[in-house]
């Protein structure tokens, strides 16, 4: 156990003292360190992109809600305007009278002639 603790103490002393960067083992470990640094940068970039995507999704959801409210409002306005009583009032001001006669039904027979009810 003493050999293990001595080895780990030596590794810690090398790291803390900076001797690890002057040894040949650093040259062998450089690609691994570079890989770790690049992986860390990729992870940080991914976190920022995810946050941006989350903000964009929230913004678009608010916009969808606003557009839905506007759609419902405009639909109710159109329904109100196109009621028969409102249409009659609007047309009366332009001099067009509402028809009091019932609608006539046109029936097409197989021979191609028309019959009126």
- The ranges assigned to domains in the chain are 2-116
Residue 80 vs residue 41, higher pLDDT = 41
* pLDDT, tens digit, 9 for 90 and up, residues 55-83: 999 999 999 999 999 999 999 999 988 88
47 contacts: CB under 8 Å, gap ≥ 6: none
* pLDDT, tens digit, 9 for 90 and up, residues 7-38: 777 777 777 776 666 667 777 778 888 999 99
pTM of the model: 0.51
| H or E element at residue 115 | strand 114-116
Cα 73 from chain centroid (whole Å):
23
User: Which region, left, alpha or beta, applies to residue 60 given φ > 0 means left and ψ of -120 to 50 means alpha?
Assistant: alpha
């Amino acid at each position: 156990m003493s050999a293990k603790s001595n080895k780990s103490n030596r590794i810690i002393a090398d790291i803390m003292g900076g001797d690890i960067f002057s040894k040949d083992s650093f040259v062998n470990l450089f690609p691994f360190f570079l890989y770790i640094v690049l992986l860390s940068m990729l992870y940080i970039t991914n976190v920022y992109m995810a946050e941006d995507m989350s903000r964009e999704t929230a913004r678009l959801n608010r916009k969808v809600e606003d557009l839905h409210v506007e759609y419902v409002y405009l639909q109710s306005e159109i329904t109100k305007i196109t009621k028969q009583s409102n249409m009659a009032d609007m047309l009366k001001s332009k001099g067009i009278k509402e028809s009091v006669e019932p609608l006539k039904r046109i029936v097409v027979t197989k021979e191609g002639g028309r019959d009126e009810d």
